[in-house]
Amino acid sequence: MNNSRFSNDIVINSKGLITYIMSDSFRIHYNHGLNKALELCEMYSLELQIVLFRVKEENERNNLFFTKGISGYQGFLSKFTNNVYYFEETTDFFYKVLKKSTTVIKDKAYLKEHLALQEKIQHFLDAENIIMTLVESNVVVPITYASNKEEYSARTIRPKIMSKINEFDDIIDFRGPTFLYEQKAKELLRYFIETNLNKYDQRSDPSKSLTSELSPYLKYGFISPLEIYKEVNLQTNPNKDSFIEELVVRRELAYNFIYYNKKYYDFDYMTYEWAYRTMENHSLDTREYIYTLKDYIAHNTHDIYFNTAMKEMIYLGKMHGYMRMYWAKKIIEWSPNYHFAFETITYLNNYYFLDGNTPNGFNGIAWCFGKHDRAWAERLIFGKIRYMNAAGLKRKFDIDKYVSKIDILTKNK
């Protein structure tokens, strides 16, 4: 296993339990943290304890998705240990469990709130003289190993990641149990490879369902990006390169952004100087329509395609990738100012999407304000930021078929 995945060398200097905090990689297979913990237990004849930790989200649908995904976790993990715990907050009992450790391995955090929790745990363990090691199991190439700075675009990070990717096919997986949604993710992957990979070049069409549908499973770590990469890379289909571009290069560009830009969530720091200048130059442009958050949630705008995308988001917890770009661009166009638009998009993204509040999500929002993009021809409201309109949807796709599809899927919601 490549040691670059781990934040430090693991030293066992006392008796106690090997503790693995499963906070982002909620799976058994292709889990570098679990594998390392089991390896250490065997090497030092020590006992393992597994601590599942996840803070609840605001949207109960997301919480139900997650809890269903790990249902029966104690039984699945009993193959490795009977010392299995689940926490949603740092209670006294949580710290009592950690205090039994000789060393702690934890899934690496990236988002602001997850980092705050990680620092809190680190502070406690430091006081107890217990070393914690962080493991990057949810990217193919560890962030700092791929690049030592915030990258400008996919073009700049692509060669850095792809030149190192073979170094990180670094885990010998084992046969054994899987969490409920870990198994479902594997089935979705197999279905995608067998049915839709050969049509993946048509994935931008909202009227067709040709994507992998794996993003919510990646969010909760129900499946490893390394496992997906390995399975897809085995295929001879020429579309595999496009899929790997999205899975590895674009996704890990988002992790690079979140890691190196500590204020990724702040409107004033998330994009480029040229984008802020062009927004300032067009801040007083007349907006033909101004809508509120309530209008969006009620899918009450003049734009049927936007309203349909909102239905898909609110009722199904997802939105086709091309429509996500269109949806966010329209909110920019219909907001009284750019900061308001950013906050609105961020709230809706993080609350309603099953795969919301992720590096990909924040990166996608920033992209709509020029991040990882180039300057375009000047126009009202958007200035040099990329613009999208309904005419483009009609020109490229059978967009009314998308409307009909979502109407049927949300009819009884």
Q: Structure pTM?
A: 0.96
Residue 268 lies in a domain: no
Last residue of a domain, one of 226, 260, 294: 260
- pLDDT at site 15: 84
For residue 300, the one-letter residue type is N
**Quick one: 297 and 337 in the same domain?**
yes
Give the Cα-Cα-Cα angle 293, 296, 299 (nearest 5 degrees): 150
User: What pLDDT is attached to residue 215?
Assistant: 97
> How confident is the prediction for the chain on average, in pLDDT?
96
Q: Is residue 386 part of a domain?
A: yes
Buried b (16+ CB within 10 A) or exposed e, 380-401: ebbbbbbbbeeeebeeebebee
Are 46 and 161 contained in the same domain?
Answer: no
Q: Are residues 337 and 248 in the same domain?
A: no
Indicate whether 283 and 211 sit together in one domain: no
Residue 265 domain flag: no
| Total Cβ atoms within 10 A of residue 278 | 22
8 A C-beta contact, residue 375 and residue 355: no
The CA distance from 333 to 353, in Å, is 22
Q: 280-286: which pairs have CB atoms within 8 A and are 24 or more residues apart?
A: 281/383, 282/380, 282/381, 282/382, 282/383, 283/337, 283/338, 285/380, 285/381, 286/380
Is 399 within a domain?
yes
Side by side, the strands of the sheet bearing 84-87 are: 84-87, 48-53, 17-22, 101-107, 131-135
Q: Are residues 231 and 278 in the same domain?
A: no
Dihedral in degrees, nearest 10, Cα atoms 176, 181, 183, 188: -160
**DSSP-assigned beta bridge partners for residue 134:** 106
Cα–Cα distance between 266 and 259 in angstroms, integer? 14
The helix (H) or strand (E) run that includes residue 93 is helix 92-98
CA distance 189 to 30: 15
**Same-domain status, 288 and 399:** yes
Residues 122 and 171 in one domain: no
Answer with the one of 198, 226, 260 that is the final residue of a domain: 260
In Å, what is the CA distance from 245 to each residue of 137, 159, 162, 181, 352? 19, 11, 10, 25, 26
DSSP state of 356: -
| Paired residues of 50 in beta bridges | 20, 84
Q: Tell me the C-alpha to C-alpha distance, in Å, between residue 394 and each of 207, 402, 406.
A: 11, 11, 16
**In 170-244, alpha helices (H):** 180-191, 215-219, 225-233, 240-244
**Pair (157, 124) in one structural domain:** no
- Whether 266 maps to a domain, the answer reads no
The CATH number that applies at residue 60 is 3.40.50.620
Pairing of strands 101-107, 17-22: parallel
Would 251 be classed as within a structural domain? yes
Number of domains in the chain: 3
Residue 184 lies in a domain: yes
Residue 402 lies in a domain: yes
Determine if residue 326 is left, alpha or beta; phi over 0 gives left, psi from -120 to 50 gives alpha, anything else beta.
alpha
- Rounded Cα distance, 205 and 321, in Å: 9
The helix or strand, by DSSP H or E, that contains position 306, with its residue range, turns out to be helix 304-316
CATH number at residue 328: 1.10.579.10
CATH code (residue 246): 1.25.40.80
Cα gap 57→351, rounded to integer Å: 8
Element (H, E) at 85: strand 84-87
For residues 299 and 312, the answer to whether their CB atoms sit within 8 Å is: no
pLDDT value of position 392: 94
Q: Are 9 and 40 in contact (CB under 8 A)?
A: no
What are the per-10-residue average pLDDT scores of the chain (413 residues)? 83 88 97 95 95 96 98 96 97 97 97 96 96 96 97 97 92 86 98 97 94 97 97 96 97 98 98 98 97 97 98 96 97 98 98 97 98 96 97 95 95 81
**pLDDT the model gives residue 142:** 96
Indicate the residue among 138, 160, 189 that finishes a domain: 138
Range of the domain at 311: 273-409
| Residues 246, 291 within the same domain | no
301, 385: one domain: yes
CA–CA distance, 329 with 323 (Å, rounded to integer) = 10
CA distances, 367 to each of 159, 243, 324 (Å) = 21, 19, 11
Same domain, 250 and 166: yes
Tell me the two tokens of residue 165: 């990717």
Q: Check whether residue 183 and residue 284 sit in a common domain.
A: no
Q: Which two tokens stand for residue 269?
A: 């720091």
Whole-number Å distance between alpha carbons of 92 and 224:
32
